[in-house]
């Protein structure tokens, strides 16, 4: 599955608003999002054709009259590729390609192609290949000989033409092998997850619509430098890192792939393993781009996907990001309306204090910071506290007992608080 010889191609953007297919949750800026997807795939939009249609046409999706017009544009503008904002059936694609004599890519294929160009980890690459092959196996009836063969263009990233011509049986075999390799890789991850459980780290996953600012926030929270870009699907492989800020309890943050409306089912299926990692999260930070006019619809879309993945049972804090792009009065009004949500700017680190305390409250029921006094027979408690990474400083009290300055979640502190010989230390004198 490779992306090396990527050829930039002149594309015709075909945006058809089909009245019978409009959903309740429609984005206002659907066109802009589709355009961003094409640009994110590294294509040049040479021409845009936008129109409305009542129903999809069975054979070609688009009406004959429109197709004639599109064909004229293709011939006069040196168009190599048509990209349509819908999912097409295999035969619709084939008929369109036969008529227009250029390659036709539907929205599913476009998203699969972007994923193919972004995958960098072993698991990520396997998952994308699996999704592409699954998609391909539904299209094997498609006659590929009717088009001139180009290597490396969009839609051809991944399995090359020769593979496209191999039969269903071979693809089936490859899918089986990939599934096997993936389940092995996921098993290894499960072992890592188990060792995390044994230590006391909490796992907090950042989820949200693509381009909401998850990676930017992740970088600030973990002092990392993952690639954050104004591109759709900048992040594909999930990354987990430990929190660096002392104001937090022991937390691992996980940055994940962004969601989009109409995420191809093959992708969801293939990424189930990675998304399964989210199942063990203790909390989700749902990052929203509050400056986006479509933020409400996108918020709903993300929650629908989370629900499908059975992730709505995990506590979620809604984080309205990019609040630096809105006026203070607008933000203040929004804060009143959404008073259980957090407002931040990941870029400028505004609102981080509130964010941190919300996370600590949710995860640890708040944090205790202070001195505890332990009888000398509580050596095992002392070493547990050290293992947990809670001890900031240690002393011996004037009466010869152990004193430790600890930082610990209130919930975790409960297990020690009732032990004989363990007490919170309020007496300043002891500390002198
Ligand atoms: N003005 C402003 N821009 C931001 C803020 N946070 C992120 N951005 C920008 O938004 C764009 C997307 O940010 P990312 O962090 O890559 O978004 P993401 O959610 O990880 O996106 P995907 O990985 O594609 O799902 C980048 O250009 C960021 O610089 C913010 O608080 N304010
Ligand atoms: Mg990202």
Mean pLDDT of 128-156: 63
Give the pLDDT score at 280. 85
Confidence of residue 155 (pLDDT cuts 50, 70, 90): low
Give the pLDDT score at 13. 97
Instruction: Return the ligand number nearest the Cα of 229.
Output: 1
- Record the tokens describing residue 106, joined without a space: 């539907």
Is 207 a known ligand-binding residue? no
**Using CA of residue 325, residue 330, residue 332, residue 336, what is the dihedral sign?**
negative
- Answer yes or no: are the C-beta atoms of 99 and 60 closer than 8 Å: yes
Write out the H or E segment, with its range, that includes residue 168. Answer: helix 168-198
pLDDT tens digits for 241-262? 888 776 667 789 999 889 988 7
Residue 141 predicted with pLDDT over 60:
no
Q: Which of 211, 257, 298, 345 to mutate to test the pocket of ligand 1 (most atoms within 8 A of CB)?
A: 211
CB atoms within 10 A of CB 97: 19
- Please tell me the distance between residue 213's alpha carbon and the centre of ligand 2 in angstroms: 7
DSSP string, 237-260: S-EEEE---TTS-SEEEEE-PPB-
Residue 267 predicted with pLDDT over 90:
no
Give the pLDDT score at 7. 58
Nearest-5° Cα angle at 314, 309 to 319: 100
Is 247 a known ligand-binding residue? no
**% helix, strand, coil for the chain, step of 5:** 45, 20, 35
Give the pLDDT score at 198. 58
Is 257 a known ligand-binding residue? yes
More confident residue, 130 or 323: 323
Task: Looking at mean pLDDT, say which of 159-168, 343-352, 361-370, 400-409 comes out highest.
Answer: 343-352
Give the pLDDT score at 221. 93
- At 383 the three-state DSSP class reads helix
Task: Looking at mean pLDDT, say which of 17-26, 297-306, 394-403 comes out highest.
Answer: 297-306
Confidence of residue 146 (pLDDT cuts 50, 70, 90): very low
Give the pLDDT score at 195. 66
Confidence of residue 208 (pLDDT cuts 50, 70, 90): very high
Assess whether the C-beta atom of 40 lies below 6 angstroms from ligand 1.
Answer: no
Instruction: Return the ligand number nearest the Cα of 258.
Output: 1
Mean pLDDT estimate for the chain: 84
pLDDT tens digits for 53-92? 999 999 999 999 999 999 999 999 989 999 999 999 988 9
Q: Helix 168-198 and helix 122-137: axis angle, to 10°? A: 150
- Residue with CA closest to ligand 1 atom 32: 322
pLDDT tens digits for 383-403? 988 887 788 899 888 888 899
- The DSSP output letter for 21 is G
């Amino acid at each position: 599955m490779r992306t090396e010889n990527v050829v930039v191609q002149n594309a015709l953007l075909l945006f058809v608003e089909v009245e019978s297919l409009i959903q309740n949750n429609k984005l206002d800026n659907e066109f802009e999002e589709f355009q961003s997807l094409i640009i994110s795939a590294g294509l040049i939009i040479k021409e845009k054709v936008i129109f409305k249609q009542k129903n999809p046409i069975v054979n070609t999706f688009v009406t004959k009259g429109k197709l004639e017009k599109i064909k004229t544009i293709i011939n006069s503008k040196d168009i190599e590729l048509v990209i349509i904002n819908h999912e097409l059936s295999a035969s619709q694609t084939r008929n369109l390609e036969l008529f227009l004599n250029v390659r036709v890519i539907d929205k599913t294929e476009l998203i699969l192609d972007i994923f193919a160009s972004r995958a960098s980890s072993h698991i990520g690459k396997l998952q994308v290949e699996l999704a592409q092959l699954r998609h391909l196996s539904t299209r094997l009836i498609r006659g590929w000989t009717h088009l001139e063969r180009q290597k490396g263009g969009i839609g051809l990233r991944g399995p090359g033409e020769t593979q496209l011509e191999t039969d269903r049986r071979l693809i089936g075999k490859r899918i089986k092998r990939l599934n096997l390799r993936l389940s092995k890789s996921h098993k290894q991850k499960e072992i890592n997850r188990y060792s995390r459980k044994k230590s006391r780290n909490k796992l907090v996953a950042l989820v949200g619509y693509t381009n909401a600012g998850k990676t930017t926030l992740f970088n600030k929270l973990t002092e990392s430098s993952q690639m954050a870009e104004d591109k759709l699907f900048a992040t594909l492989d999930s990354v987990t890192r430990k929190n660096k800020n002392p104001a937090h309890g022991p937390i691992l943050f996980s940055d994940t792939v962004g969601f989009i409306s109409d995420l191809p089912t093959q992708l969801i299926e293939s990424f189930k393993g990675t998304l399964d990692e989210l199942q063990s999260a203790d909390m989700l930070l749902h990052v929203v781009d509050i400056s986006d006019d479509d933020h409400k619809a996108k918020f709903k879309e993300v929650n629908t996907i989370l629900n499908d993945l059975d992730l709505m049972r995990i506590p979620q804090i809604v984080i309205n990001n990019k609040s630096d792009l809105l006026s203070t009065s607008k933000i203040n009004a929004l804060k009143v309306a959404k008073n259980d949500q957090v407002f931040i700017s990941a870029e400028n680190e505004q609102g981080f204090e509130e964010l941190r305390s919300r996370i600590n409250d949710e995860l640890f029921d708040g944090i205790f910071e202070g001195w505890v006094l332990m009888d000398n027979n509580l050596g095992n408690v002392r070493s547990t506290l050290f293992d947990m990474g809670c001890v900031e400083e240690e002393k011996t009290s004037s009466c010869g007992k152990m004193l430790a300055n600890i930082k610990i979640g209130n919930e975790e502190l409960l297990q020690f608080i009732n032990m004989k010989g363990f007490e919170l230390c309020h007496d300043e004198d002891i500390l002198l």
